[in-house]
A and B are shown apart, each in its own frame.
Chain A
C-alpha cells in the first residue's frame, strides 16, 4: 500500500507540473466529440442515438493518446529500472502509476461527460448513466492500457502499435459502456451493463497490475 501511494503521489506531482499537457488531452477529447455532429447531422434524435457511442470512442482515443507516456519518461531516465530493483513490489508501483494516469486523464473525461452529453441532446437520466458508466469504465481503460504501454516500451512506432494492441481489448468496455445508455434510452435498466463493467473493473484491478509489471520486467531485460 505505501508503494501504491508513493507512486501515485509522485506521478500526480509530475503530471500536475505540466498542466498544459493535461489540458491538451482534454481538448483533444472535446474536439473529437465535437467533430461527429459536424460529420453527420445536427438532428437531435440521431445525435442522442450516437452520442453515448461517440463519447465512449472519444474516451478510448483520449486515454490511448496519453498511455504511451505512462512509462516512457521513467524508462528513459532509468527510474523504472530503480523501481523494478526496489524492495517494493513492482505491481504495486505500477498500480500507483496507473491510478495517477486515470486521475489525470480518465477522471476529467468523466467530469466533462455531463456537459458534452448536453451537446448530444441526451436526457438527464441517460446523461447520469453515461457518466456513471464512464466512471466505472475509464479505470479499466487505464489498467488494460498500462499492459499495452509496458509491452510497447521503447519500440519503434510504439504509439501506433499500442493502439493496435489495446483497442481490440477495449471492445467489451465500449460495448457495455455505451450499451448501458442505450438500455436506459430503450426503457430498460442499465443495471446489468453497469454490473458487468464493475465486474470487469474488479478483474482488471486484480490482474492488470501483475501483467503490466511482468511486461515492464520484459522491457527492462
Chain B
C-alpha cells in the first residue's frame, strides 16, 4: 500500500497524471461556476435587507473558505516535504501558494465591495477581515522567501519551515485579533448571527464552493507541472515527453 502512494511522489510519474486530471477539474469548475453564478445572480431572490449586494457572497465566501483551506493544505505538503524529504510535496506547496494568495485577495476585495453598501465602509478592523489580511501577508511572505532563495532545494525546506511556523500561528492570530476587537467594542455586525439563508442561496453557494475547489485544484496541478518542467529540465524522462520533443525539434 505504502509503495503505491510513494509511486506518485516522483515528479516523473505525477507529471502525466496531473496533466490528465487538470482539464477535468478545470471543466468541472467552469460548469459548476456557470450554474452556480446563474442560480446566484439570476434565480436567487433579492435579499430583503441587503438588496442585491448580498450576491457578492457567492464569490466572497467560497474564496474566503478556500484561502484558509489552501494554507492548511500547504502546511500538510510542507510537513510531508520536511518529513519525507520528497521534492514533489514541496512543489505542491509552492504551486498552491499563489492560488492561496489570490483567494485571500479576492476575499478581501469582494468583502470591501460588500461592506461599502452593507456596513457603509470599505474597511473595518473586524476580526475576520484583519486575520484574513494577515493571512495574505503570510502567503506573500512564503512567496517572497521562495523568490529570495536561488537554490530550489533550500527554498523548498525554508518555505516548508516558514509555512509550518505560520500554520501554528494562524489560529493564535485569529483568536488574538478576535479578542482584541471584542475587548474594544462589541462587534456591531456579526456574520454568524445573519438570518438563515434561503435554500436556493445555499445551493448557489455550494455550487460556487465546489467550483472554487475545482479551479484551485486545476490551477495547482497545471502550476505544479510547470514547476516540474522547470526544475527537472535536466532529467532524461522529461526530454522523452512528446510535448518537449516538439519544442526541441
> Which A positions have Cβ atoms within 8 angstroms of B?
144, 147, 151-152, 155-158, 161, 164-165, 167-169, 171-172, 175-176, 179, 182-183, 196, 200, 207, 211, 214-215, 218-219, 221
Residues of chain A with a CB closer than 8 A to B153's CB: 221
Against A, the Cβ 8 Å flags (1 = close, 0 = not) of B142-166 are: 0011001100011001100110111
Contact across chains for A155 and B148 when beta carbons are under 8 A apart: yes
Residue of A nearest to B138 (CB): A168
Contact across chains for B177 and A219 when beta carbons are under 8 A apart: no
Q: What is the bound-complex CA distance between A172 and B177, given in angstroms? A: 7
> How many positions in chain B have a CB within 8 Å of any CB in the partner chain?
29
In the complex, identify which listed stretch (B47-55, B95-103, B167-175) lies at the interface while the others stay far away.
B167-175
Residues of chain A with a CB closer than 8 A to B161's CB: 147, 151, 211, 214-215, 218
Contact across chains for B180 and A175 when beta carbons are under 8 A apart: yes
Other A-B pairs beyond A164-B141, A168-B141, A179-B180, 11, CB < 8 Å: A151-B145, A151-B158, A155-B148, A155-B149, A161-B148, A164-B140, A168-B134, A171-B134, A179-B179, A182-B184, A211-B161
23 A-B residue pairs with CB within 8 Å: A152-B145, A155-B148, A158-B148, A164-B137, A164-B140, A165-B144, A165-B162, A168-B138, A168-B166, A168-B169, A169-B166, A171-B134, A171-B173, A171-B177, A172-B173, A175-B177, A175-B180, A179-B183, A214-B82, A215-B158, A218-B158, A218-B161, A221-B154
Residues of chain A with a CB closer than 8 A to B165's CB: 144, 147, 169, 211
Q: What is the bound-complex CA distance between A152 and B155, given in angstroms? A: 10
Interface centre among B140, B145, B166, B168 (most CB of A within 10 A): B145
Distance (whole angstroms) from the CB of A143 to the closest CB of chain B:
11
Residues of chain B with a CB closer than 8 A to A169's CB: 165-166, 169
Tell me the total A-B contact number using a CB cutoff of 8 A: 75
B176 within 8 A of A: yes
Q: What is the bound-complex CA distance between A179 and B176, given in angstroms? A: 10
Contact across chains for B144 and A168 when beta carbons are under 8 A apart: no
- Which residues of B, 174-190, contact A by the 8 Å Cβ criterion? 176-177, 179-180, 183-184
Q: What is the bound-complex CA distance between A200 and B172, given in angstroms? A: 9
Q: What is the bound-complex CA distance between A151 and B140, given in angstroms? A: 15
Residue of A nearest to B133 (CB): A168
Residue of B nearest to A174 (CB): B176
Residues of chain A with a CB closer than 8 A to B140's CB: 164
Residues of chain B with a CB closer than 8 A to A165's CB: 141, 144-145, 162
Q: What is the bound-complex CA distance between A71 and B58, given in angstroms? A: 48
Residues of chain B with a CB closer than 8 A to A164's CB: 137, 140-141, 144
Residue of B nearest to A151 (CB): B158
Contact across chains for B176 and A152 when beta carbons are under 8 A apart: no
Contact across chains for B145 and A161 when beta carbons are under 8 A apart: yes
